[in-house]
Chain A
């Protein structure tokens, strides 16, 4: 099967800066694919390579089997939802949405009908006569989405589309985007620095760092089985355990990771440490509503644990014993 988007050793260097460095990537048709990484990790440049705003310095990119190098953005069947939405302030909402059809020479009546339909799709029917300046941030976002979807792209690129929205709106949009993608069957490629967003929305996630992909996998894969310390730390702040520590529990001299919710915290039984547990000191507690996050100090090793709200907790500064199931300790591939 042809990939929707395929990178073969694709690089984009700006002088000495390797924004994207020899990336291999295959995105399947109809997939909801997230590119996750800190700012400057190359994820947005990757998106711009697909859109055609950047050309690879080496390697090749193909979109549905067609070579994309040298093809300008306006000849690609790919549309983008921009981070700042980039709506045209001099056009009303309907003409904004119909823009792509207008430049393709579609007649006025027909393109306005299609634009109305696209606006209904993003649940903004009847907003066509307004100016972008009269809309709220969430509404502008929907207009930007409609403007891209009206062209029936093969791949829809979304550049941190939810970054500027407040939390409640963001959660609504996450669900909506996901159901929209399921309904339309279009390949979505989504750039974000928010690991929660990537995990909850995407079918597969690529974690970027320093222009390279650290790991590609399903959200469960990335979350439960991080391959490197960077992924473990960036995706949901796992406890990264040094090889010496890991050796004591698994017998292997490798870096390990342990989810904060896998750690059980018990009171130190009158100074006697059991052979199983790790003795530690509770540094601070951080109430998060449904859960409480504990910062712990195990002989110089900083650990985090997450316990359900309502758990009886020792006081700050007290000695505690930490236990966890051995199978929850994940060994990473990264060499020690």
Chain B
């Protein structure tokens, strides 16, 4: 934590930090600016004029709405699958000791360490081999592979901090397995699941690589944006959508950050 919050950092460090932040965030600001430009064919700096007409244009484009709806549905269902599988898996790994436990733990985490392109190719060949046509569900399956990891990691960390005797105490006091899960386990891992779920949602929402391999003709929002950049027509629409995507993914990630931070304190206070 902060060892001496009152002491001010030296000037050189401040400048370096400012440069780092600018390097990270200036390009994003540029995207925001281009959302208001009057030039629609290419990105010119400085913008020849400013307008808000692209918001209306975007609002009236059905392809945007289709892509957005597909992305939200895919993200929601992948997250739901991940929440169930990730929680079950983390409970098994952290509550019991069995042969091959470490291996299973590693195998669950692997999809997020693997390059997306490998996951994508692997899934595509598997789908082809099993004669599964590309559809909404193939995209969901592809996304679930890495969403499970995020939920699993969050839940496993929380399970490790919750005392095992709490579950025994609940059983001892007369609660069966379901009641124990409902009244003791779930309240204690809820914030971790919320954080993991939000992170999973955000990951799925802006995923490109795995999606290109597992989607047929359908376009999720990021894929739609890629296509738009190739065809120069109403380019600022892409920027407007980019702004929306940023907000949609940023808010859950921020929320997840604050939730897990508070969660640590909750878990720690029980000790």
Contact = CB atoms under 8 A, between A and B. Distances in A.
Chains A and B form a bound pair = yes
A148 B174 CA distance: 11
B157 interface: no
Contacts of A74: 171-176
B157 to A, nearest CB: 16
Contacts of B172: 51-53, 73-74, 78-80, 148
Interface residues of A, number: 28
A40 interface: no
A102 B184 CA distance: 12
B266 interface: yes
A99 B270 contact: no
Interface stretch (A81-89, A191-199, A303-311): A81-89
A159 to B, nearest CB: 9
Interface of A: 51-53, 72-74, 78-80, 82-84, 86-90, 99-100, 102-104, 131-133, 147-148, 151
B269 interface: yes
B168 A133 contact: no
A103 B175 contact: yes
B159 to A, nearest CB: 14
Contact of A89 (B165, B175, B176, B266): B266
B42 interface: no
Interface in B253-271: 266-267, 269-270
Interface residues of B, number: 21
A52 B168 CA distance: 10
Q: Which of B165, B172, B270 has the most CB of A within 10 A?
A: B172
B163 interface: yes
A134 B172 CA distance: 24
Contacts of A147: 169, 173
Nearest to B186: A90
B50 interface: no
A103 B174 contact: yes
A86 B163 contact: yes
Contact of B270 (A52, A87, A100, A104): A87
Contacts, number: 77
A151 to B, nearest CB: 7
B135 to A, nearest CB: 41
- Nearest 6 A/B pairs, CB to CB: A89-B270, A133-B269, A100-B173, A86-B169, A86-B165, A103-B175
A99 B183 contact: yes
A82 B267 contact: no
B166 interface: yes
24 contacts: A52-B172, A53-B171, A73-B168, A74-B174, A74-B175, A78-B172, A80-B168, A80-B169, A80-B172, A82-B169, A83-B165, A84-B165, A86-B163, A86-B166, A86-B168, A88-B169, A88-B188, A89-B267, A89-B270, A99-B183, A100-B173, A103-B175, A131-B269, A132-B270
A151 B169 contact: no
A281 B174 CA distance: 61
A79 B171 CA distance: 10
Given A74-B171, A100-B174, A131-B269, A84 B163 contact: yes
Nearest to A90: B187
B36 to A, nearest CB: 47
A322 B119 CA distance: 82
Contacts of B170: 88, 99, 103
A132 B187 CA distance: 15
A103 B170 CA distance: 9
B66 interface: no
A103 B165 contact: no
Contacts of A72: 171, 176
Query: Which residue of A80, A86, A104 has the most chain B CB atoms within 10 A of its CB atom?
Result: A86
Contacts of A51: 168, 172
Contacts of A87: 169, 270
Given A74-B175, A82-B168, 16 more contacts: A80-B168, A82-B169, A86-B163, A86-B165, A87-B169, A87-B270, A88-B169, A89-B270, A99-B175, A99-B183, A100-B173, A102-B183, A104-B174, A131-B269, A132-B269, A147-B169
A151 B266 contact: no
Contacts of B175: 74, 99, 103
Given A74-B172, A131-B269, A103 B183 contact: yes
A116 B190 CA distance: 28
B163 A90 contact: no
A72 B174 CA distance: 9
A89 B174 contact: no
B179 interface: yes
A136 to B, nearest CB: 13
B168 A88 contact: no
Nearest to B162: A89
Interface string B169-211: 1111111100100011001100000000000000000000000
Contacts of B163: 84, 86
A7 B174 CA distance: 23
